[in-house]
Structure 1
């Protein structure tokens, strides 16, 4: 076995021996199924309660069941097919507008495809666009973009305290304070979105992921807490 280089903070292991594979995935499969713990994961994943950070066990199995049934099932994907189709049409129309009447315009397709994919996801989850043209609230969109950029940067940043846990006691580099600030701001932002959807859910025909989770919260409030719902939204 040898460590594999990666830009992410989590180390990777390359297994090249059949006996090592058996050791990892047969004798110690549960150990390897768990995610490594770190200050970044703790604060950015609601204290290890998202599906991307939870240890193997009842919580992880329940989150996997929710993801399978409420997000990736054929029924759910079919119900949201209209959203994906409308977003693609909207995206194509915006490209046509940029080109003018029969004219031409230079377009950065990499950024445009990024905006399309992100808006498809956020429309399915929240019923809102946050990138490109057509956003309802420009300030809200800017806040969301900044929070997401920070979140991804922190999630992929190497933190010396991950290697030397003693540094967590003093936080020399101020990283943990940044994790906490981003987590609090992200939680507030997501909770505001959930509360807004809660108020309009009954009057809208198009049901988002948040609407589905809120209906589940009514039947199982002890499991579908606000943190669990926000964690599912963030990971999605």
Structure 2
């Protein structure tokens, strides 16, 4: 028995050092030592993953290599290496890895997020960018966003000087915006037409959020595949697709719209696209496009607004300055509108700074190299999974002065929101960048601006708001935000009229 142990130990040492030597010969990026048999570097990964990877980058450099079970992975953590991957080598890294979540929640890797780069993905991207998320289409649906924000303001009037859990009301606002734009229906709060349909939608959405962030080591160790998680994902996707297929059929039955009439909901728009290619553009494809939009446009938007409000509560002087800006540019005799946000640079700075400090997606959706290339002078093999650590880039003291200080003024003079080359990547960059950034920024800008304009905000107690991050794929707060609000004296009359 002792002899076996010594033989095994000798094999292990030989394996580790041989692997390390071959790694250097192949000119791969630096990797943490040691890389163990079978599991590789999986033993290093702890939650929250973005912080663990940032710590490894601190020791190994802004680009490093990990062998996660059977998968080669590179992690980039600087603007220059991110630019090499997402700009210079954009097409090479436009691929997506095959993962369980892509297979079972991504329509067998055929939806917009997980589809391999090619003609099918280009068709989906064109439909998303031109048909349902274009500037003109979003403008056409702006009344829905205004209506839902005003509904939120009315609801908050009932919480005057009482604690309100903001994550809940922001969740309801965002989901209602999305479902009304998609299908003309609201499933939360007042005026819910079909209570049972709303209940089914809410249950399916909560289940999807839970399973999408579940850890699956089977993606790296195929023999470690979780059958239970796989069954849960399959059932969850079946329920969600089935729900949207019902909405599609409802829309088809009740909207016998003439060719000259404007199609208003996203389902109606997608059904008009289907008329030209019914065999390719199936109901299932429409359902998955809508699911993509719902998944990508809710949790990230909610988290961004919750983090921004948390920061404002901990920095009341910033809140007061934002209120003064709105008073000067908008006035007190009308509510802020989406178009006003372009003329409110300090408000835009608050949003950009919140996204910088607490990016809703701290790691971009994984990319995969479709051929061999070089990044940072290192050779990257075909089929290498790419992780871009957005949180590390946006909180690097070499890139940002005092990165953990909330300073909206650092974005003075900058056009737009959440854009600063490869130093700021809340929506990614390149071909696989998030196509819904325009919608997300409209919802966040109007909602946050309205809450700042209409209410005075206070922490529930004397303690500072807890700013600890959760451990999921989306950066949520460990403790949901609670706050007290009361209508601003100058806005009471206007709020009573909405």
The two structures have a TM-score, normalised by structure 2, of 0.41
Corresponding position: 1:38 with 2:99: yes
Within the candidate set 194, 209, 220, 1:163 is matched to 220
Q: CA deviation at 1:139?
A: 2.1
- Deviations, residues 96-116 of structure 1 (Å, cap 9, x unaligned): 3x35xxx75443233212211
- Decide whether the 8 Å contact of 1:15 with 1:21 is kept in 2: no
Structure 1 window deviating more from structure 2 (200-209 vs 61-70): it is 200-209
Corresponding position: 1:213 with 2:267: no
Superposition RMSD on alpha carbons, in Å? 2.9
Corresponding position: 1:13 with 2:75: yes
- From the superposition, tell whether residues 202 and 6 of structure 1 become closer, same or farther in structure 2 (CA, over 3 Å): farther
- From the superposition, tell whether residues 227 and 6 of structure 1 become closer, same or farther in structure 2 (CA, over 3 Å): farther
Q: CA deviation at 1:231?
A: 0.9
Within the candidate set 29, 33, 52, 2:113 is matched to 52
Output the CA distance in 2 between the equivalents of 1:80 and 1:57: 30
Output the CA distance in 1 between the equivalents of 2:114 and 2:143: 31
Q: Whose strand proportion is higher, 1 or 2? A: 2
Corresponding position: 1:176 with 2:238: no
- From the superposition, tell whether residues 112 and 12 of structure 1 become closer, same or farther in structure 2 (CA, over 3 Å): farther
Output the CA distance in 2 between the equivalents of 1:107 and 1:15: 37
**Structure 2 unaligned regions, length at least 5:** 1-28, 32-44, 52-72, 294-498
For residues 62-211 of structure 1, the aligned pairs below 5 Å read 62-96=123-157, 98=158, 105-168=162-225, 171=226, 173-202=227-256, 207-211=264-268
- From the superposition, tell whether residues 165 and 129 of structure 1 become closer, same or farther in structure 2 (CA, over 3 Å): same
- Decide whether the 8 Å contact of 2:131 with 2:269 is kept in 1: yes
Output the CA distance in 2 between the equivalents of 1:62 and 1:161: 31
- Decide whether the 8 Å contact of 2:132 with 2:269 is kept in 1: no
- Deviations, residues 153-195 of structure 1 (Å, cap 9, x unaligned): 2221111211211234xx4x51111111111111111101111
- Decide whether the 8 Å contact of 1:40 with 1:155 is kept in 2: yes
Output the CA distance in 2 between the equivalents of 1:217 and 1:66: 11
Corresponding position: 1:228 with 2:285: yes
Output the CA distance in 2 between the equivalents of 1:226 and 1:19: 40
Q: Secondary structure at the match of 1:13?
A: strand
Output the CA distance in 2 between the equivalents of 1:185 and 1:165: 26
- Deviations, residues 190-230 of structure 1 (Å, cap 9, x unaligned): 10111111112236977100000011111221332112101
**Residue 323 of structure 2 corresponds to which residue in structure 1?**
none
- From the superposition, tell whether residues 114 and 12 of structure 1 become closer, same or farther in structure 2 (CA, over 3 Å): farther
- Deviations, residues 4-57 of structure 1 (Å, cap 9, x unaligned): 9249xxx882245967964x4578644422222112210111111111111111
Q: Secondary structure at the match of 1:202?
A: coil
Output the CA distance in 2 between the equivalents of 1:138 and 1:126: 16
**Structure 1 unaligned regions, length at least 5:** none
- Decide whether the 8 Å contact of 2:263 with 2:269 is kept in 1: no
Structure 1 window deviating more from structure 2 (182-191 vs 201-210): it is 201-210
- From the superposition, tell whether residues 12 and 213 of structure 1 become closer, same or farther in structure 2 (CA, over 3 Å): farther
- Decide whether the 8 Å contact of 1:201 with 1:207 is kept in 2: no
- From the superposition, tell whether residues 202 and 44 of structure 1 become closer, same or farther in structure 2 (CA, over 3 Å): same
Q: Whose helix proportion is higher, 1 or 2? A: 1
- Decide whether the 8 Å contact of 2:208 with 2:236 is kept in 1: yes
Larger radius of gyration: 2
- Decide whether the 8 Å contact of 1:70 with 1:76 is kept in 2: yes
